[in-house]
Amino acid sequence: MPLFALPDVLLLPLAGLAAVLLDRLFGEPPRFHPLVGFGKLADALAGALNRPRQNTQGGNAGGTITAQAGATPAAALAVAKAAPLAESYPPSTDVIRRGAGLLAWALAVLPWVALAAWLCAPARLGWIGDVLLLTLALGGRSLAEHAVQVGADLVAGDLAAARRHVSFLVSRNTAELDEEGVARACVESTLENGADAIFGALFWFALLGGPGAVLYRLANTLDAMWGYRTPRLAAFGWAAARLDDLLNYVPARLTAVAYALCGATRTAFACWRSQAPQWDSPNAGPVMAAGAGALGLSLGGAATYHGQIETRPTLGAGRAPRGADIASALRLVRRALALWLSLWFVLALAVAFVAGGPAVAPAAAAGSSSASLSASVSSVASESAPAASLSRTAFSVSAIGTANHNRGGEHA
């Protein structure tokens, strides 16, 4: 029997609303977050499948010890023990390591997606399983807590604390940032993390239910862990980065549309069209350009990553961000979330009515009330500040999607 005697097509939007409210009320588990264990599994897989070649001083590129003419095996062994080992990831192994990265991704992600599908079957947890899995995949409250703390530090004039707290959200060097630099980093991360920690998970949940949310969150996590341009991960993390790009392609653009509709619409779309192609990420560009335009702010510009200054394109139009703009960015994310939920319910009601005709009209009316409830609850939430306590989860759901300056597109 359908839950609450509503058409089946309304069950998923209701689950989405329930998960958003649960995330809003409780946030991430304070201890034993599943992503912590998943991160350890991912590290173990990377260690097993992405082993470097070991070179010694004077050794060949392949890492083997070549004894000089006349040297005995014992002498060669002594040289090998005395010479310090160095990790080597020669380009000639890139194809093999890309394949190893794809295998590691499949081993890390697919069994959990299959388990999620088993748990969410109607004969088992069903609708409740969908709600629980999406709640774990969302990171809206964690994102808000981190961002609000940075804003509070700036308002209090505590620049050192603001630098430290914004480092939880971004991968750029924060030690030398001034107030404007901290505000810019936090606003950029809020906009991009909104796409990763909220809208991406909701999109794949709307398509595939709880298993879709698990697929997206784990793929996004692996991109954050493996998607670096370093010699060790450039080839091994290629599959994780490309798959994350693929999974984020549509939700990132829908997020950009929502940002534009909830702010300075014309400016946001103009910035998206002209500036997003200049950004080196296919997904972060539209989200951040539209968000900056919607807020009337200028983002991007030079930033330091791993000791190297990178000159990034300018995104948006207007003045440089200030501490108070962090709250504005959070309000934009929440308004966009309310818009997503409202449209989701409207589409579900339309499908239910077309599929069932007049017979489902009473149920549709009940669903309409639920849609109104979702919009009103989200609207109220947009005006209430979350607690400023920081999540200490090692693999924060909100931070892990965008805190890494990697080839997969996260450049906060």
C-alpha count within 13 angstroms, C-beta hemisphere, residue 322: 5
Provide the Cα torsion 103, 105, 110, 111; round to 10°.
80
Q: Which residue has the tokens 């670096």?
A: 228
What pLDDT score does 137 carry?
95
Q: What range defines the domain where residue 182 resides?
A: 14-47+96-262+325-400
Confidence check: pLDDT of 37 > 80? yes
Length of the chain: 412
What pLDDT score does 148 carry?
96
What pLDDT score does 71 carry?
41
Confidence check: pLDDT of 394 > 50? no
Q: Report yes or no on 227 lying in a domain.
A: yes
Lowest mean pLDDT among 62-71, 197-206, 245-254, 326-335: 62-71
CB atoms within 10 A of CB 327: 18
CB atoms within 10 A of CB 313: 15
Q: Report yes or no on 145 lying in a domain.
A: yes
Q: For the whole model, what pTM was predicted? A: 0.80
In this structure, which amino acid lies at residue 6? Answer: L
What is the mean predicted confidence (pLDDT) over 199-222? 97
Confidence check: pLDDT of 2 > 80? no
Q: Whole-angstrom Cα distance, residue 388 to residue 158?
A: 15
Q: Whole-angstrom Cα distance, residue 228 to residue 368?
A: 45
Q: Does residue 374 or residue 321 have the better pLDDT? A: 321
Q: Report yes or no on 113 lying in a domain.
A: yes
Q: Report yes or no on 317 lying in a domain.
A: no
Contacts of 38 (CB under 8 A, 6+ apart): 108, 112, 218, 221, 395
> At 6, is the pLDDT very low, low, confident or very high (cuts 50, 70, 90)?
low
DSSP assignment, residue 58?
T
What is the mean predicted confidence (pLDDT) over 42-70? 62
> At 72, is the pLDDT very low, low, confident or very high (cuts 50, 70, 90)?
very low
Contacts of 293 (CB under 8 A, 6+ apart): 260, 263, 264, 267, 268, 269, 270, 271, 272, 315, 316, 317
Q: Whole-angstrom Cα distance, residue 309 to residue 270?
A: 28
Q: Does residue 283 or residue 390 have the better pLDDT? A: 283
Q: What is the CA radius of gyration of the chain?
A: 24
pLDDT tens digits, 192-201? 999 999 999 9
Mean pLDDT for the chain overall? 81
Q: Does residue 224 or residue 75 have the better pLDDT? A: 224
Helices 238-261 and 284-295, packing angle to 10 deg: 20
What pLDDT score does 9 carry?
82
What pLDDT score does 287 carry?
98
Q: Could you give the number of structural domains in the chain?
A: 1
pLDDT tens digits, 239-253? 999 999 999 999 999
Three-state secondary structure call for residue 276: helix
What pLDDT score does 54 carry?
58
Kind plus residue range of the DSSP H or E element containing 232: none
Q: Does residue 406 or residue 66 have the better pLDDT? A: 406
Q: Report yes or no on 361 lying in a domain.
A: yes
Three-state secondary structure call for residue 396: coil
Q: Whole-angstrom Cα distance, residue 122 to residue 211?
A: 13
The first and second tokens of residue 259, run together, are 């940002």
Q: Whole-angstrom Cα distance, residue 364 to residue 357?
A: 10
Q: Report yes or no on 74 lying in a domain.
A: no
pLDDT tens digits, 86-120? 456 667 678 999 999 999 999 999 999 999 999 99
pLDDT tens digits, 22-35? 999 998 877 778 88
Q: Report yes or no on 175 lying in a domain.
A: yes
Phi, psi of 313 (to 5 degrees): -60, 155
Phi-psi region of 301 (alpha: psi -120 to 50; beta: other; left: phi over 0): left
Q: Which of 198, 190, 196, 192 is nearest to 328 (CA)?
A: 190
Q: Report yes or no on 42 lying in a domain.
A: yes
What pLDDT score does 411 carry?
42
